[in-house]
Amino acid sequence: MMNFNISSIFLILFSHLSFVVAASSPLDDVVSRYRTSKLVSMDVVRTVKSKVLSKETKFVGKIYLSQSKFRWDTDAPEKTQIIFDGKTIWNIQHPSPELPGPLQVAKSKVDKNTKKQILLSTLLGTSEIKENFKILKTENQKEEKIYFLEPKGNDIQVKNLEIHVANKKISLISFKDDIGNQTDMAFKNIEFSKKGKSKLFQYSPPKEAQVITL
């Protein structure tokens, strides 16, 4: 089963992005575009460098955002999905050809206490601007502007956070988790649509799937 906690770091990160800077800043304007679009789709390559194992792994897939909903399909090195329909998080792992078996599904409900931290629809704004992160500095490199941030508290499992912006789109997010693993997420083919696709965020496990509730 995919490590649910590691996957959630990305989701938690996106839920906090709208708190990063005050309204009217360049980064907040970029975030607002993601937050208000009916549908955002993008290709993503997530590179994880394990500090303990001294190993680098690349995960290739696609992400869909739709206001209060989120979907992340990974195609390689294994087929997995994370789907948030606004109330329930589904973490799905498909069997490999080498190891056939039933679909593995982890189901988690989002209650009032956790919704604030894993509001997966990504980039949703609230009035709590600047509460969780502060900008340490910014740099301009070629066509990108890089924001270097740090969390204000110890409850967010993200360190050394960088957000790269190019052409008013987030091109890269880089951070370390609380045990020193480095994660870089590069985004390409980012498309903003004025029309949503609700079926992308609907999920019901098949009868033969092995489902656990977290």
Taking alpha carbons only, the member of 70, 75, 99 closest to residue 11 is 70
Q: Could you tell me the pTM of the whole model?
A: 0.81
111 pLDDT higher than 50: yes
Tens digits of residue pLDDT in 160-213: 888 899 999 999 988 888 788 898 999 999 999 989 899 999 999 999 999 999
Tens digits of residue pLDDT in 18-39: 444 444 567 777 877 887 889 9
Structure tokens at 121: 């629809």
Superfamily of domain 4-213: Lipoprotein localisation LolA/LolB/LppX (2.50.20.10)
Domain range summary for the chain, segments of one domain joined by +: 4-213
Tens digits of residue pLDDT in 55-80: 899 999 999 988 778 899 999 999 99
Mean pLDDT, the chain, as a whole number? 78
Taking alpha carbons only, the member of 57, 92, 102 closest to residue 77 is 57
For 133, counting Cβ atoms within 10 Å of its Cβ (0-12 exposed, 13-18 middle, 19+ buried), the class is: buried
Q: Which residues, in sequence order, are CB contacts of 173 under 8 Å at separation 6+?
A: 10, 13, 161, 162, 163, 164, 184, 185, 187
